[in-house]
Structure 1
Amino acid sequence: MSLETNEPETKKVKCRDYYLDDWNEKWEKHEIGFHESKVHELLVKYSDKFFNGRDEIKIFVPLCGKSVDMKWLYDKGHTVIGVEFVEKAIREFFDEQGLEFIEEKNERVKGAVFKSKDEKIRIYQCDIFSFNKEMEEDIGAIWDRASFVAINREDRTKYVKLMKSLMTDETVYFLATLDFDETIHPGPPQFVSEEVIQESYGKEYEVKRLAYRDVLEDKHRAWGLSSFNERLDCISKK
């Protein structure tokens, strides 16, 4: 439900080719098996650790798609900052959640920013690596469910550097990753080892395992997998 009288024409943000082509095509074809129609169970279960007794914090959701988690966080009174380069996903989020929005061009990211009427949800339409802390300071928490596992391996170092740049001493970073046999299914989503998590964050941050659970479904079996597990780590400054 755009508040603008003239609906802007559909556009595509210039971005890394693999990312733009593959993920735009998935959304156009509605191949979005990674999207969950309900709020993530682990986010709800461990929300007390995520919010850490804080009200009205700013929460960053990288590669947010049209995650219903954002609306849940917003309804809890927090400000949600998302990054998603697929315009279709952003528009579907606002429409499906019944939220009026405005769209503004943003030359700093060579894209746009979509805002709820009260501006407590702001989703930047851009390449994740065009985003930086100067655009949104004081990030109190990061909810990373389907972002790190979607990033290509060669971009992980750059991605971790971005996440660290957004974190303050008070930031709580929830990182959900996947454990499966990558020799059978090379991704996406990407397999992420415990070693990768520790190498990425363990020196500077405390990494606490909150959950490790079996999430095997028929679609994973169709990939040839017999096990498919999700882990949730809480990352915070030491």
Structure 2
Amino acid sequence: MPIADDLWDKAGSPTPVPFSSPPTAMSVAGRIETWTQKWATGRTLWHKNDVNYALLHHETLLLRSPGLRVFVPLCGKSVDLKWFYDKGHTVVGVEGVEQAAVEFFSEHSLNYKTEQLTWAKLYKTNDDRLNIYCCDMFKVDIATLGKFDVVWDRGSLVAIYEEDRKSYVSILKSLLASDFRYLLSVTQYTPNENFSGPPRNIPTELIEELFGEICKLKILEKFYWTEEDELIARWSLKSMDETIVLLTPKNSP
């Protein structure tokens, strides 16, 4: 179920941009086709060319040592992948639309090779340090992906259908190394009959419910928009918050 990476306008000063979704009753195959069509017709307003501000603000909390393994779910062609890679880490993304992977390597002038697996098509750099698996997020081979020290989740949990959240979180939990750092960007607002996402409303209480068994939460930043913002008004919302949350092992200091 491919969802691209960025929901907001600028790295330093986030501004909401349109992000429409297929109908909620659509099958997984239908969802993939819908997002494939968006990429094919250039309707990817969510994709931006700046490294996300949360990574820049909280790099030291997230990247605590060299040579980490980083996972970016539903990655699109996010420039954040290259940012992690340039810092010397091993980066793995999962994306449902193959065009996004091709464009990523082309736009960054990265030589790459491909490999057809039974469950995905793999695009990877020649040094094997940057990998994008093109597949259904819910059919990933967990053993092949391995464990990750860092997860960067932006535009992913907020886009997952409500009925898929527990399955999604179960997959993410299974990929976490023992001393992981999981940086999560979520939107928080009161849904109404005109707008319920994506980006979907992910209250802090829901994060606790989904991850609290193994994680402790720390809110790092919040950004606020009110109905004075044109897009918030168009969605008939009173306000919307973007909240940056750091998840760490429950037993960590």
Q: Identify the TM-score tier after normalising by the shorter chain.
A: 0.7 to 0.9
Q: What stretches of structure 2 of length at least 5 have no aligned partner?
A: 1-26
Inter-partner Cα distance in structure 2 for 1:228 and 1:235? 22
Q: Does 1:120 align with 2:129?
A: yes
In structure 2, what is the equivalent of residue 205 of structure 1? Answer: 215
In structure 1, what is the equivalent of residue 10 of structure 2? Answer: none
Question: What is the correspondence of 1:19-98 to structure 2 with a 5 Å cutoff?
Answer: 19-51=31-63, 53-98=64-109
Inter-partner Cα distance in structure 1 for 2:230 and 2:129? 37
Inter-partner Cα distance in structure 1 for 2:46 and 2:189? 16
SS at match of 2:209: helix
2:174 aligns with one of 152, 162, 165: 165
Deviation at 1:136, TM superposition (A): 2.1
Q: Is the 8 A contact 2:78 2:104 kept in 1?
A: yes
In structure 1, what is the equivalent of residue 157 of structure 2? Answer: 148
Q: Does 1:230 align with 2:242?
A: yes
2:195 aligns with one of 185, 193, 196: 185
Q: Percent identity?
A: 34
Inter-partner Cα distance in structure 2 for 1:18 and 1:225? 29
**Considering only aligned residues, what root-mean-square deviation do their CA atoms show, in Å?**
1.6
Task: Say if 1:215 and 1:119 are closer, same or farther in 2 by CA, change over 3 A.
Answer: farther
Question: What is the correspondence of 1:126-145 to structure 2 with a 5 Å cutoff?
Answer: 126-145=135-154
Deviation at 1:233, TM superposition (A): 0.8
Inter-partner Cα distance in structure 2 for 1:120 and 1:221? 43
Inter-partner Cα distance in structure 1 for 2:225 and 2:113? 37
Q: Is the 8 A contact 1:132 1:162 kept in 2?
A: no
Query: TM-score scaled by structure 1?
Result: 0.87
Instruction: Give per-residue Cα distances to partners, 1:138-186, cap 9 Å, x unaligned.
Output: 3110000111011100000100100110012211111111112321412
Deviates more, 1:223-232 or 1:188-197: 223-232
SS at match of 2:178: coil
Length, aligned pairs only: 221
SS at match of 1:27: helix
Task: Say if 1:140 and 1:152 are closer, same or farther in 2 by CA, change over 3 A.
Answer: same
Deviation at 1:215, TM superposition (A): 5.6
Query: TM-score scaled by structure 2?
Result: 0.82
Inter-partner Cα distance in structure 1 for 2:133 and 2:186? 23
Inter-partner Cα distance in structure 2 for 1:118 and 1:171? 24
Instruction: Give per-residue Cα distances to partners, 1:104-134, cap 9 Å, x unaligned.
Output: 1011x1x300001211100000001111331
Inter-partner Cα distance in structure 1 for 2:247 and 2:33? 32
Q: Which amino acid aligns with 1:234?
A: L
Q: Is the 8 A contact 2:219 2:245 kept in 1?
A: yes
Deviation at 1:22, TM superposition (A): 2.3
